[in-house]
């Protein structure tokens, strides 16, 4: 590949301090309209940590449309963090190219790429207040104190932490530190924000609250966020674009609803959960667990097995039917229906589904 061909005229390469005229008293943070088609593009990128070893990322291509919330989702070791680190410039690309706003940045140092990274452990400076932590990168860039503090306040307001501006990190909760870390990574006005498992250190309640906040802030700023996660729920809740990875390659990249409703192959269907992968009339299909029923029904396809697990989930009950071939199938039924005739573990059961709810899977 001739990477030079991908270069576009550079109008925004300089690592300039935030322009002086962009520090309004009230936040006006949305980025100006620009003409690029994609916020980020990955073009046939491969990463090999060892010259002869298996690639950690193997010839992946991805286009992230403007103003997208993109989640990189996949099991441990599939190459998500490596992809993120290559976007950030923390890891060299072995082959291929990366573009941000149509400009090739493959070999540029992190600070010149228009990206910013928010780390899992927040990495705040312990001796600096929230305000000074957020202002820090502007200080490094030579922005005057009054201006950088005004700007830092604006970003603390965005993450609803302005009331704790003078607190040190050890005087803040994990969730509050995370908001400060988010403000700190946004103050340089990145074109794309990279987030490596940003919610994993939070308790489940806070995680759900923060993910709503992340989505709000992403839409408010009008930039793309690329967020690495192991969590299917998190990706489905947040993402405009879900990128499912496995074994160093992209299995599917599509809007959340499309990935859930039409997984491309058995890996995606199983990894997302909520699907049964079934051999039906000589082909492999997925059927959503909430479209499967307990008991044989006329005109429907069915299989038989034994009920091996019943999990009460509040709104729904999740019932596992284990077949003679030792395959676990799931029926997700409304709790109210379940309690009408509560089946029990060990019972022989039929699982049925409409042929029209079958979704054909591509061979892997």
Ligand X SMILES: Nc1ncnc2c1ncn2[C@@H]1O[C@H](COP(=O)(O)OP(=O)(O)OP(=O)(O)O)[C@@H](O)[C@H]1O
Shortest reach from residue 130's CB to ligand X, in Å: 28
Beta carbon nearer to ligand X, 55 or 114: 55
**Interaxial angle between packed helices 130-140 and 174-186, expressed in degrees from 0 to 180 and rounded to the nearest 10:** 20
Beta carbon nearer to ligand X, 221 or 253: 253
Beta carbon nearer to ligand X, 228 or 349: 228
d(CA 47, CA 95): 7
Beta carbon nearer to ligand X, 82 or 316: 82
Tell me the torsion sign for CA atoms 339, 341, 344, 347: negative
Shortest reach from residue 218's CB to ligand X, in Å: 21
- Decide if 30 contacts 216 (C-beta within 8 A): no
Shortest reach from residue 289's CB to ligand X, in Å: 25
The three-state secondary structure class of 141 is coil
d(CA 220, CA 198): 19
Shortest reach from residue 77's CB to ligand X, in Å: 4
Shortest reach from residue 137's CB to ligand X, in Å: 25
Shortest reach from residue 3's CB to ligand X, in Å: 22
Beta carbon nearer to ligand X, 23 or 86: 86
Residue 1: exposure state from Cβ atoms within 10 A (0-12, 13-18, ≥19): exposed
The three-state secondary structure class of 204 is helix
Instruction: Report residue 2: phi and psi, to 5°.
Output: -90, 100
93 φ/ψ sector (left φ>0, alpha ψ -120 to 50, else beta): beta
Beta carbon nearer to ligand X, 88 or 317: 88
Summarize as ranges the residues that interact with ligand X (CB under 6 A): 49, 56, 74, 76-82, 230
Residues paired with 77 in a beta bridge? none
Q: Nearest-CA neighbor of 134 among 84, 176, 86?
A: 176
d(CA 93, CA 264): 28
49-55 long-range Cβ contacts below 8 angstroms, 24+ apart: 54/248, 55/94, 55/248
Shortest reach from residue 259's CB to ligand X, in Å: 17
What is the Cα Rg of the chain in Å? 24
Beta carbon nearer to ligand X, 162 or 247: 247
Beta carbon nearer to ligand X, 51 or 298: 51
- Decide if 94 contacts 49 (C-beta within 8 A): no
Shortest reach from residue 187's CB to ligand X, in Å: 26
Shortest reach from residue 92's CB to ligand X, in Å: 11
Token pair of 229 as six digits: 């996660």
Beta carbon nearer to ligand X, 55 or 274: 55
């Amino acid at each position: 590949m001739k990477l030079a061909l991908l270069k576009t005229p550079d109008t925004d390469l300089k690592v300039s301090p935030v322009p002086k005229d962009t520090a309004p008293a009230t936040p006006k943070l949305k980025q100006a309209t620009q003409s690029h088609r994609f916020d980020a593009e990955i073009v046939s990128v491969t990463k090999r940590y060892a010259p002869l070893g298996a690639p950690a990322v193997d010839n992946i291509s991805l286009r992230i449309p403007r103003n997208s919330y993109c989640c990189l989702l996949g099991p441990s070791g599939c190459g998500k963090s490596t992809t993120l680190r290559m976007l950030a410039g923390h890891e060299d690309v072995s082959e291929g190219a990366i573009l941000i706003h149509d400009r090739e940045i493959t070999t540029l140092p992190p600070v010149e790429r228009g990206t910013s990274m928010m780390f899992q452990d927040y990495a705040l400076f312990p001796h600096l207040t929230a305000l000074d932590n957020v202002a820090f990168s502007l200080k490094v860039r030579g922005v005057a104190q009054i201006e950088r503090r005004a700007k830092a306040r604006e970003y603390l307001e965005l993450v609803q932490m302005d009331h704790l501006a003078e607190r040190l990190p050890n005087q803040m909760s994990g969730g509050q530190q995370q908001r400060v870390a988010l403000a700190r990574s946004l103050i340089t006005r990145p074109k794309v924000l990279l987030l490596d498992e940003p919610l994993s250190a939070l308790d489940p309640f806070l995680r759900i609250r923060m993910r709503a906040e992340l989505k709000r802030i992403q839409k408010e700023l009008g930039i793309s966020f690329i967020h690495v996660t192991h969590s299917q729920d998190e990706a489905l809740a947040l993402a405009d674009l879900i990128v499912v990875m496995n074994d160093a390659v992209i299995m599917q990249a599509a809007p959340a609803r499309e990935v859930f409703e039409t997984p491309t192959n058995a890996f995606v269907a199983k990894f997302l959960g909520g699907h049964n992968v079934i051999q039906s009339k000589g082909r492999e299909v997925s059927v959503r667990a909430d479209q499967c029923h307990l008991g044989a029904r006329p005109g429907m396809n069915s299989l038989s097995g034994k009920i091996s697990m019943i999990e009460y989930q509040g709104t729904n009950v999740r019932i596992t039917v284990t077949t003679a071939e030792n395959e676990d199938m799931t029926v997700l039924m409304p709790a109210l229906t379940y309690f009408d005739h509560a089946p029990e573990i060990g019972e022989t059961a039929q699982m049925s589904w409409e042929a029209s709810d079958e979704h054909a899977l591509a061979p892997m």
